[in-house]
Structure 1
Amino acid sequence: MRLAVAQIITGADLAANLELIREYATGAKAAGAELVVFPEAAMRAFGNSLADIAEPLDGPWAAAVRDIARDLEITVVAGMFTPGDDGRVRNTLLVTGPGIDTSYDKIHLFDAFGFAESDSVDAGTSPVTFEVNGTVIGLATCYDVRFPALFTANARAGAQVNIVCASWGAGEGKAEQWDLLVRARAVDSTTFVVACGQGDPASIGRPAAGAAPTGIGHSAVVSPLGSPLVALGREPELVVVDIDPSVVTEVRGKLPVLANARSF
């Protein structure tokens, strides 16, 4: 399948962010992609209020993304925020396209490095997979990448590809950790990993939003044996890559970690 990774940098303006999604999705379709992946917080960047813009999956922002996907006949994965309990939000991935409409709520909340995502975000509870033209794809968001069990659960549910949408926080060693974790999760689950992060705002001269995790770039597509097929830099970029899901069966025949795994 041909897929596209849209490493964008979003801001506070929902309409402007939608235009970015339309622009990059149009480019992905023109390049022949069946699927285009956008980062976490595509609806509104971290460092801005979220509770006031969170909306249900049948709200106007999600409807606009569905319109883009329908008009272009492409499947779109994009991060948004939906209402949670007690004034909190859910950190949601919307998936929409021909014959597809589903969503995933981030399970593992980023209560680490002095940040407490659980103060403002409700955790999801269930893994989610979906199918594009016969290829099964699992979903994960940012901090989820540190938890191998989610990726192997998706693989056991049939996933040949795992998508990670992120707005990775900057800091000492964080870029190296991102690279290590993305590649490790591919090997753990023997799936392709499509890791799409927000670009680094500094790369376009935008000031930092305090300590908010606004992205470092370095999106990548990784093979089931952990080899990078594409690796981006810090700047906004659209990259298109062809992957062969049948490779997963071949890899699992050589490296049957899912079959060999034991529970303790």
Structure 2
Amino acid sequence: MTNLGTDFLVKCTNINKFYRKQHVLKNVSLTVQKGDRIGVVGPNGTGKTTLCEILAQLRRVSNGSSEKQVGIRIGMQLQESKYPRGITGYDILNLYLKAYNLLIPPENIYQLLLNLQIEKIMNKDISKLSGGQQQKINILLALIVGPDLIILDELATGLDLEIKDKIYEILSIFLANENKALLLISHNMEEIEKFCDTLIFMVAGEITKVTKVVDVVAEYGSVEAFVKDQFKEYQIGAYKKGYRTGAIEHDKWAKNWTKYIDKNKK
């Protein structure tokens, strides 16, 4: 993540992103290199998903620069994907295969459908599927392109325990290739510990902390304990400012976010 060279996959430098008057990302810089396993955590609405969408070339920056290494493939599973009515799983899969000019043996595709337990829903209108079923199709699309970098946004959302374990197994196989890179947004701290070696903490559109997961566990005992400690620190400082300006009730969403972490441990 630090020394730039031919191994970098994507990078952004001093980027800012505005949605009208809302300053979503503030002078953020990040480099993802081959073999990186990066977890991104922080309160809701702090720009995590926007940052990943920019790195994936799905969204433009307001200013600053965002670069992607020529020829690499990025697979991104979005937490929420909006599909037009009437589009089936097979329709969107075929679109991906054509867009990326992929020639994948049908038996390999079918095996992945079986692993994700979606072989029986691929001919159905995606917009009418449950959130968990749509999530599995999103994961399929992220993997099917044979990505050099896979970006996962709340991977386990809407998944039952059995399929979640299967997806973890598939992801572990993917990451067995040491050149593959992972960028994982998650409120599940055990998920971060399982798959990531670098941890990024974001607050209010800024990267406030970058550290190694192994160091966090050694000092705090778990990533969860570290995140709660960071959040407490932010809650105190930002709440005073927010209270003065009347801009936001930081104490309320701070407590809600802490409860959300507890709820999503497993």
Provide TM-score, normalisation by structure 1: 0.33
Bigger radius of gyration, 1 or 2?
Answer: 2
Higher helix share: 2
TM-score by length of 2: 0.32
